[in-house]
Structure 1
């Protein structure tokens, strides 16, 4: 025999379905709560299957963010083999079915069938540093998405209110940066560059040293210039070109 237990995990509870072997479901599917009592009853159910088959059944479940954490922690402490399936893999397997039915009971059954069809890898516990890095990366991606969406919405409104804004101010900023970073002398007597704006030239040189192309570096300087202008207006102060 080759037993397996499939769990369709949701918030606070899971749907359970067990197979004693391929195409041999065991009893009816049921739900358990993610509480000490609920997990203990599920543990008793797994031991019942182990007594029948003589084999400790692996537990297959989908990755569901943090909802599956209590189950993983509980059965990991009891040395059960856990298989956490990527939702894309289980979705692809369910999509091949002719009957497009979505219920917790059927999903738990699909996970058991997936265990017999696919060569699934066991769950490997990740270190706390890797988990923290993953969470930070997700938060960074979310914040970046919000920032990009806000910028696009602002540009859409600006195009309606001031259609020629980019043509007027974009060219003006570009020329302002070009004038600020180039040599201020009409005729160069030395190889040293004496820019009109030393701070902006330093920023430009820094971007170029980072490997940025000329146009990208100039756009970065234009953004920096806008930040300086905003800060000066906000603080009601004057610009000092100190290096």
Structure 2
């Protein structure tokens, strides 16, 4: 929302809007994915999982993978470098405590700070960064003693478009955009090689019935194209690294 409560006042309207996602929306999306046999990448803050053990238990046995999304719902650019590092370290530790494993990818809320990528590289343990929105394919950036894989995010096929103008007026707009995007990429891929399409949805928005119907339409559209497949981001990262091993590594 563009409006917020004054400092020191709880914004109960926004709180309950988010709560719809954790109470209702996540389960509607979970059932939909299971019904179609689709494994997805789940982006979450560590604290959100700690406060919702039912979702944590589901994530542990669902076959979906985790994209680290911070310790809390914090704007990274408001933190000092040391504060951001502390948040990341605490988030990774909490993910390990809750899920038994750490995230190997990272995506900041909205956008990263100027320090985020350096901190990811310095801390280690990450195969990829998903903060940039600047390509249709993964790519590498230089890092200390090597390189870091970028798996671009997208705010094009994203349910945040329901809230911005011009955006999606109806759920069908989302489905139509995905279909046009996908079919164009398939034509390009036939001529130039593979492409990647990111579809991003949020439990508090797409978990609502009419928008969940749009997600189901999107899934059915992708599954109807024999040249397209759903892949988790961890799988994309490992596949890309196998195609382009670092110097001295076996392919």
Pair in the same fold by TM > 0.5 = no
TM-score, normalised by the number of residues in structure 2: 0.29
Task: Please tell me whether Structure 1 or Structure 2 has the larger radius of gyration of its CA atoms.
Answer: 1
Task: Write 1 or 2 for the structure with the bigger share of strand.
Answer: 1
Task: Write 1 or 2 for the structure with the bigger share of helix.
Answer: 1
TM-score, normalised by the number of residues in structure 1: 0.29
Report 1 or 2 for greater relative contact order, CA contacts < 8 Å, sequence distance ≥ 6: 2
